[in-house]
Structure formats: C-alpha cells, structure tokens
Structure 1
Amino acid sequence: MTDQHRVDSLGAYGNPTASTPALDELARTGTRFDRWYTPTAICTPARASLLTGQAPFRHKLLANNERNVGYIEDLPADHYAFTTDLRAAGYNCGLIGKWHAGTERTAADFGFDGPHFDGWHNAIDHEDYLAYLDERGLPHYEISDQIRGVLPNGGPGNLLAARLHQPVEATFEHYLATRTIEMLERYADDYRSGARPFYLALHFFGPHLPYVVPSEYYDMFDPDEVELPHSVAETFDGKPPVQRNYSAHWSYDSLAPETSRKLIAISWGYVALIDSQIGRVLEALDRLGLVDDTAVFFSCDHGEFTGAHRLHDKGPAMYEDIYRTPGIVRIPGAPEGQERDEFVSLLDCTATFLDLAGLDPSNAVDSRSLVPLVAGESPEWADDLVCEFHGHHFPYPQRMLRTDRYKLVVNPDSVNELYDLELDPHELQNLYAVPGSAPVRDAMLARLYELLRERGDKFYHWMTAMYPVGGVEYDPSFSGFDDRAYEESAT
C-alpha cells in the first residue's frame, strides 16, 4: 500500500514514461481494476475503512490528527477490525510502515507485529531506522534543492519536493522493504512448518508529497518531456469557492510552469523508487517459494493532485485525481492479465481478506469480496459508487455519486457539482446549474439520497429538505408532534 498515489503514474495504467516494472508485472499476472476508488480521499479515514470494512461515516474516524478540528482520533477499543478474526484463526499479522489510523491506539493494539511509526511522513528520526543506518554505515537524512511556493500571506509554502543526499540503500523506502522481507522470512518459516498462515502489509509513506528522493530518482525524468495536466486550465468558475482557496493554500499559481513540470517528474521518480522496493519484496516471495500460495494486493489510501486543477495534496474537491486510485489483485490460480471495470473500493479489500482466509466477512458491513471478480466470474455488481468526505484543516462534508458516465457531488455550503466524464473527462465544466442537465441531476440526487438512506448515512437529512429527492417518508423534525405534513408529502 502506498500513500497519496496517482493512478496515472503507473505503466499498467497507461503512463508510457513511468518506470514501474514490478507493479506492471503484478498487473500482467493478476487483475487490474480500472474503477477502484477510495471511500474518502484522506489518510486516516481511508485506512480505518480498510481496517474495519466500514465506511467513514460509520466508523467515525473522520480526519487526520495533524489537522483534526474536533473529530475522534481513535477507534473505540471494542470496534471491529479484520485482524481480530485473522488472529483468532491462527494468522500471523504484520504491518511494516505507515499506520496513521489512530493516535493513542497503535497497530499493535489491533494485533499487528512490527515497529510503530507515528504520523503521515517518513519517520526519519525513528530509533529503528537510525539503528538500521548506523549498523550499515549509511548516512543520515539530508536534503537540498527544496521546491516551495508562496502562501497567500507571503510566507513560504509547504515543502513540495527536495533532493535527498542518501544512497538508495539508506532511504526510508529501502529500509521498509528490508524490514518487510525480514518479517516475511520469519512468517514463511511458520507457514512452511504448518503452524501459521500470515497476513503481511507493507505501507509506504510515499509518494505523498513532499517528493524527497535521491538524485537518481530526482533527475530520472526530463521535465521538458512532461506534459502538464489538462486541468491546469481550471478557472474555478461555477465551482465551490473552497477549491480556489485550496489552490491558494497550496500556492500553485506562485510556481512557474517549468517548476510544475519538474514536480511531476520528481513524483514519477518517487513512484519508481517505491516500485523498485516492491520488486524486492516480490522477489523475496518468489525466493521463499510462496508465490503459488500467497495473494498479493496493491493499492493506496487515496490519490494526489500534483498540479491537476491547480491543486496539490488532496482536500475538499472530489475529482478523479484523488478518488480513483490503482488497485491490483493477484490470487493464485486466478486468470492472469484481467482488466475489470466494475466500481470497487479500497473498502472491498477487507471482505476479500476474510474470504480468502475462509472467514465470515459479515462484520465488514460496507465491504464486498473481490474474489469472484478476480476469479473471472460475472456476479451481479452495483453500477454506481458512493464516496464521502468530512474535512481537512476544517470540517467540510461532501458526498459523491459516481456512475458510468456522470459524477454528482453535494456540497451543502455552496454549489453542487455535476460532471459528464464522457464529454469532460478532466472535470472542468460544472453542469449542475445547466438547464439541460436537470433530468440527469435530479435522477442522481434521488439515487444518492436512496443510497445514503439505505446505508444509514445521516447526511441524507440535508438532502430531504434541500433537493428534489421525492416524498418525505419520515418526520424530519423527529418531533412526533405533526405526522400529517410528511404523510401528505409522501403521498
């Protein structure tokens, strides 16, 4: 699992310039999902959804603690996690790398082996990492060539990229892969002895910005050969004002076009660095004779703008750049080289893990096993998908409905959004207020309302009063004082 990873940075997803041979080979020998989405484009809620198989509104861990403005920061002690069932079934469970699914409760509290890493970025001062460097005589972290913009108040912008003065063997990415291989070797011994099967997760902190990589990756791609995203033509006209504010926060317009191209080039280099480390782990899996017995998953928590829509990072804008993500699954015995276009989610990994282990996935209530799709079957599958967002830097609730052609985003604070992804794949023209779009808009509003009510997502209460979603079949005041009004509305 990577962090904040654009789907178009991989060769398997159509990037002709990318250097991602390990992940491309995984896609060639497994199943590539072309409509794989995150339940929410922010780290902690997405990771908590993977852990629980529950949508963010249900598990209620809704924000990253670094920017949290009042939401809970840990799952309750009695909250369901799939590792509870795996542990009870005799599995070793390991997690090497990014946790970021709580502050007081660590990965160990959920049954994972492995060193604990706080926070959202490479833990370059972690005692185990420093010991790893010192044992091998490797240099510590040092950077130069920093790239920053200028904030609206004139201050220096967030660090976006930098050159790392370490050899690859000293990078945090190489360190994480090394520790993963060491744990894989221990788990392999247990597995071969018949004692315990295993679940092992490697969670990189990249390619989340800032893109801090050694020179061979910092300069791997020529920025003059990089095209800027089509959506840098974004004007924010007819869009929620928060998007323009986020663009200013990430100081996009203070960067020269050649700097933006360089950032994209460095981000591809970061992906290449991580791919090489994934390759090391997959080679170890082969060396240990485990390929024919081990399912392999690759995805990330959410995407990244990297200049798209004049934005960086992620935030309150439900564009494909941050919601559609890579998703590759290889299960022994399943057909190779499949490309599936069903709408699936990172959430669906949870039920899939349990299904593969022969365990009941019913506690992962918002998750559905991907095993039939990977097996090449054609089960009945939903032809739309709901995503959600709750805020970053400040509370900001959003809900999204994605269908084959259209996307609807409900923004209670301002204007809603409707995009025709067939005619406008870069989501530049908001059709919500265009008169000719009313039939599609209203049908999607009604469908989103229906799905939110089925799920128990109380966001639907706002829609009850504000949009043409049909009769009110309940007392929206919850008063019980006047049944007649909503009964008449329902009829």
Structure 2
Amino acid sequence: MSQPLNVLFLLVDQWPADSFGFRGSSCATPNLDQLKSRSTDFVNAFTTCPLCTPARGALLTGRWPHETGVYDNCGVGYSNQPRMRNETATWLDHAKEVGYRVGYFGKWHLGTDGLKDRGLDGFDDPGEVHTPYDERPGFSYENTKDYYLKHGQQILKQGTAPFWGETGPDAGPSKCGMAVDSGLSFLQQQRDSHNDQPFFLTVSIADPHFPHYLPSHVLAQRDSLDLPYPANFDDDFSNKPAFQNGHWWPCHDTDTLTDNDWKHIFDYALRHREYVDAQIGKLLDALRQSGLEEDTLIVFTSDHGDMCGAHNRFDKGPYFYDEVWRVPLLISMPGVAPCENAEFASLIDLGRYFNRFFGGTNEPTEGLRLEDELGKTKQQPQDSTYAHGVYDMYNGHWFGIRAIRDARHKYVRNLNAVDEFYDLTQDPHELKNLIDTPGYREPLAVLSRQLDEFLEAIDDPIRHVEAWPTPGQVVHVNPYRN
C-alpha cells in the first residue's frame, strides 16, 4: 500500500480574494501564480466570519462558533473570549491519530498553549498570553491608540501609525520570515530523517495583516505604484447600519488620513502581499527540491479579506462586504488537472475537508464537499446554493450579524439595526442598500427564508435570544449562554 499524501497548508492573514497576478491585479505574485496553475481555484470562497479568531476556530475544527465557543478575538481589546478548549478536536489531532508527522508554525490566535498541549511533532510558541479584559484594568481604546503612535515613532523612518510605514534595520525579524524559516526546517528534517512517515505541515503567516510596516530593503525592490482609489471609496453609508461608522479599534479611524496616506496604504499593502508571496516561494521551492512535491497536497487560503480603502475603511470590521468576506482558496492535488470552480466554498468546508482527509467520518452534511469539486471547471455556482456568514463579537463589542448571498444578491441581517440587501449584478461595489426597495421584495424574501432555514439547521442559538444588546455594546460574557 502506498504512503498517504503529505499535506502543506499555507494560511495567511487578511489577503483580499482578487489581489493576485493570476486575477489581473497589479500585485505581483509569481509563486502563488505558479501554484494556481496546478490547482483548483475556488473563485467564490468565503470566510465564516471576517475576524481572525472566530474564522480560525471554524477553520481548525469545521464547526461553527456556537459549537466551539469561539465567538470573538482572543485576548484583544475588551474581549473576554477564553482560549479554544484543548479537548476541542481539530484536524491537527486527527492527523496525529492516523500517524502523520504534524507541524504547525506561526499565528495561532486561539489562546495560550493551544499548540503545546496537542502533542505536535513541531511547533513554535506564538507568544499568546490569554489575559481577559477583566484582568487588564488598564486597557482602553485611547491607551491602545497611544501605544500604536508611540510604537510607530520608535520603529518607523516614515509613515502613519498604525496604517503604513517604512522600518529600518532595528525593527527586528518579521513574523512571516520566522514562520517560514520554521517551516523550512521542518521540511529539511522530513527529508533527512522522516521519509517513511507522511507529514502535515501548516505554516500560518501573520502577514499581510496591518499595520503595513515594511523594511527599507523590501521597499527598494520595486518602484512605488500610483494605484487608484477603490471604486466604492466614497460610500456615504446612506440607509446603512450606524455601527459601520464606529471606531471600534484605532485602525478604524480613517477620518484623519490624507490623500498621501491612502496612496501609501494602497502601495504598501500591495507590496506587503508581494513580500509574503516571496516568502511562500521559499517553501514551495524547498518542497520541490526535496522531491516531495509530487506526493503532497498543497492548500492556500486566508482567514479573511481586507478592506484597504473599500467604503473608506481600513482593516476589517463588523460587516460582510465582499472585500472582507471573500477569501482566496487554492487546492493543488497531485494528479488533478487545474481549473476554476465557482461553487460557493467556505473555510468551514475546508476544515471539514481536512477532518475527512485524516479519517473523520462524523462531519455535518451541509456545505460543499471540496474533495468532490477538485478538477471540476464551473463557471457559476449551482442554483439554490449559498454562502453563509456569522458575526457575533468584535474585541468585546457585540453585533449579532448573520449573512447569506447567492450569485446575484446578498442579505445581511443586523440585529437591532437596519438590515442590508444588495444587488451584486447592478451594484457590485455594495453602495446602495435596497432593503426597503419594493422591486426586491421577492429575492429578499427568498434569502431571508433560506437564512432562517440555515440557522435552524445548524441550531444557531441566536434564534433564541429574546433581548438583544445594542450593536457595539461591550458584552463580557457569551450572550448566547443558556
């Protein structure tokens, strides 16, 4: 019997779905372009929640936040989100159980000791210390803003904290570089000492998450580009939820950004992604040179997207605009022809795919079976299929958002705020909320009914809460706890 396939999982943080050379972007991504040339490219892939910790909790487990208890960012802001429980099964555990040599390097963001206690063959300490808000009495929005400003003054040769900047030689090694170096070491050990055992290597790169601080030598590798503003930069937020204009974190305060700042943000964010592509190239080259490439499944995705000026917003926030909801997803399976597949795929589908890949059989039936879609060219998603998203908390602030979309329409249910409905064919940049437009009552009713059926199918506890907090209200305990 032949040895099982190896797996190399490349997870990045906050990468827009279309910012690749192979998607026609100005972003030069030769290494990911090459990976795409031998992958199934899921062009309609979505995160479960456009926020780091909840997205990663769903991805690692194949389970929704109410099933894992992971609703909010862990250890950030006003959050009291506990770490993901060690007894919560992930595909890391399943891979170990079936005899894989398992390594995980880089960003975890699911709380203290989540890697150390899983018996992995290789991991690094992501340096996460879970300190709930009620144990950090000195935290405040203003203190965090002051920290960003002071830290920027210390390390930046030029720039505007916490958005963009040029660092000198004293800024220290990048988290991206350290994670990739650890992955390279794992592959070297695999080639030299563990060829008789299949491996599952995850390299979780914390970049190109903001702030877009880049060292001088990276900036010198390419001339600056005069990039245009996003087509939806001038959103007036008419008939949209008021909380979308809230400053829930210092990076949400874009009011003081100048034209010069925005131009640098567009440029530095793009070059940040190019830097990550170059680092990923080192891993792909090492895999090829080791002779393991032909026996290795390679997967690339991001935990969520990036606003980067869309709707005059930076980073991400409590909303489901496609800029943050959509993610890239490439799956390169040996022996499977490359293609583009437009079925709606989700990070939770990817988590369940990994669970099944490593022997799991008790997986929910809703969603897309990615293994059945590899190598299949599809121009459009099937009729009556949908992307779903959930959003409960942002750094301790409650929002309670549920989202659904099909090939043309998007419906966002905002508890205690105005709902949103967009015609993505007529308004691809999501500028006009049609929630009260008579001509759209029928498609709105269809998506609303489908959303209700989905929430019932997954037994979402949001259906049973009688009194909702105000959107943006600081909530220190799980609002869905019975």
TM range (shorter): 0.7 to 0.9
Task: Give the Cα–Cα distance (whole angstroms) in 2 for the partners of residues 262 and 222 of structure 1.
Answer: 12
Cα distance change of structure 1 residues 201 and 77 upon mapping to structure 2, 3 Å threshold: closer
Regions of 4+ moved over 6 Å: 364-367, 377-382
Measure the CA separation in 2 of the matches of 1:455 and 1:342.
21
Whether 1:213 and 2:214 are equivalent positions in the alignment is yes
In the alignment, is the contact (CA less than 8 A) between 2:45 and 2:345 conserved in 1? yes
Distance 1:388 1:202 in 2: 26
1:65 to 58, 66, 74: 74
User: 2:74, 2:110 within 8 Å by CA — same for their partners in 1?
Assistant: no
Displacement after TM superposition at 1:77 (Å): 3.4
Indicate if the aligned counterparts of 1:294 and 1:332 stay in contact, CA closer than 8 A.
Answer: yes
Shift of residue 459, structure 1, vs aligned partner? 2.3
For residues 257-277 of structure 1, give each alpha carbon's deviation from its aligned partner in whole angstroms, at most 9, with x where no partner exists. 232021010011111111001
Query: How many angstroms does 1:231 deviate by?
Result: 1.2
Q: For 1:208 and 1:311, locate their aligned partners in 2 and report how far apart those are by CA, in whole Å.
A: 14
Q: Which residue of 2 aligns with 1:485?
A: none
CA distance in structure 1 between the aligned counterparts of 2:171 and 2:457, rounded to whole angstroms:
49
Q: Could you give the per-residue CA deviations for residues 60-100 of structure 1, whole angstroms, max 9, x where no partner exists?
A: 21111233646542223332222222111111111111010
Deviation digits for residues 291-327 of structure 1, max 9, x if unmatched? 1100001011111111111111111111001110111
Task: Report how many residues are paired.
Answer: 430
Corresponding residue of 2:155: 143
**Aligned counterpart, 2:456:** 453
Q: Tell me if 1:376 matches 2:369.
A: no
SS of 2:246's equivalent in the other structure is helix
Q: 2:305 aligns with which of 303, 306, 309?
A: 303
Q: Alpha carbons of 1:169 and 1:63: their partners in 2 closer, same or farther (altered >3 Å)?
A: closer
* Counterpart check, 1:420 vs 2:432: no
Give the letter for the 2:109 counterpart: H
- In structure 1, distance between residues paired with 2:367 and 2:447: 23
CA radius of gyration, larger in: 1
| TM superposition score normalised by structure 1 | 0.81
Question: What secondary structure sits across from 1:232 in the alignment?
Answer: coil
Give the one of 187, 191, 202 matched to 2:190: 187
CA distance in 2, matches of 1:375, 1:224: 36
C-alpha deviation, 1:462, in angstroms: 6.5
Please tell me the residue identity of whatever aligns with 1:185: Q
Contact conserved, 1:54 with 1:367, CA < 8 A, in 2?
Answer: no
Q: What is residue 143 of structure 2 aligned with on the other side? A: none
1:339-354 equivalence runs, <5 A: 339-354=340-355
| Secondary structure, counterpart of 2:123 in structure 1 | coil
Residue deviations 1:213-249, cap 9 Å, x none?
Answer: 1224336666562011111111011000001124995
Q: What is the CA deviation profile of residues 352-408 of structure 1, one whole-angstrom value per residue up to 9, with x for unaligned ones?
A: 224444x13424676654122113388989611210001213111100001110100
Q: Which residue of 2 aligns with 1:200?
A: 201
Tell me the equivalent position of 2:7: none
- How far does residue 8 in structure 1 lie from its aligned partner after superposition? 2.6
**Partner Cα distance (2:177, 2:461) in 1:** 44
Quickly say closer, same or farther: Cα 1:205–1:199, change in 2 above 3 A: same
- Return the alpha-carbon distance in structure 2 between the equivalents of residues 443 and 381 of structure 1: 13
Contact 2:45 2:344 in 1 (8 A): yes
| CA distance, structure 2, for counterparts of residue 296 and residue 89 of structure 1 | 19
What SS does the corresponding residue of 2:402 show, helix, strand or coil? strand
Which letter does structure 1 place at the counterpart of 2:353?
T
Query: Which of 1 and 2 has higher RCO (CA within 8 Å, sep 6+)?
Result: 2
Distance 1:111 1:161, change over 3 A: farther
Q: Secondary structure at the match of 1:371?
A: helix
Alignment of 1:38-437 (within 5 A): 38-67=47-76, 69=78, 71-103=80-112, 105-112=113-120, 113-119=122-128, 143-148=155-160, 159-166=162-169, 170-192=173-195, 194=196, 196-218=197-219, 225-246=226-247, 250-336=252-338, 338-357=339-358, 359-363=359-363, 368-376=368-376, 383-393=385-395, 394-437=397-440
Contact 1:160 1:209 in 2 (8 A): yes
Q: Could you say which residue in structure 2 is the equivalent of 1:131?
A: none
2:364, 2:324 → 1: CA distance? 24
Task: Give the secondary structure class of the aligned counterpart of 1:374.
Answer: coil
- Give 1:334 deviation, angstroms: 0.5
- Cα-to-partner distance string for 1:433-467 (whole Å, 9 max, x where unaligned): 1122211112211110011101111223469x9xx
Q: What secondary structure, in the 3-state scheme, does the structure 1 residue paired with 2:163 have?
A: strand
CA contact (8 A) 2:344 2:385 kept: yes
Distance in 2 between the 1:117 and 1:200 partners?
16
8 Å CA contact retained: 1:352, 1:368: no
Paired with 2:191 and 2:103, the residues of 1 have a C-alpha distance of 12
Inter-partner Cα distance in structure 2 for 1:166 and 1:361: 50
Partner-residue secondary structure (3-state), 2:401: strand
> Any gaps of 5 or more consecutive residues in structure 2?
1-10, 130-152, 469-482
Say whether the 8 Å CA contact 1:67–1:392 is kept in structure 2. Answer: no
Higher helix share: 1
Rounded to whole Å, the distance in 2 between the matches of 1:51 and 1:365 is 17
- In structure 1, give the amino acid aligned to 2:459: G
* Shift, 1:168, TM fit: 11
Do the aligned partners of residues 208 and 164 (structure 1) sit closer, same or farther apart at CA in structure 2, a change above 3 Å counting?
same
TM-score (norm 2): 0.83
Which letter does structure 2 place at the counterpart of 1:370? L
Root-mean-square deviation (CA, aligned residues, Å) is 2.8
Is the CA contact (8 Å cut-off) linking 2:225 and 2:267 kept in structure 1? no
Cα distance change, pair 142–255 in 1 and its aligned pair in 2 (3 A)? closer
- Using the TM superposition, name which of 233-242 and 255-264 deviates more: 255-264
Q: Cα gap change, 1:159/1:452 in structure 2, threshold over 3 Å: closer, same or farther? A: same
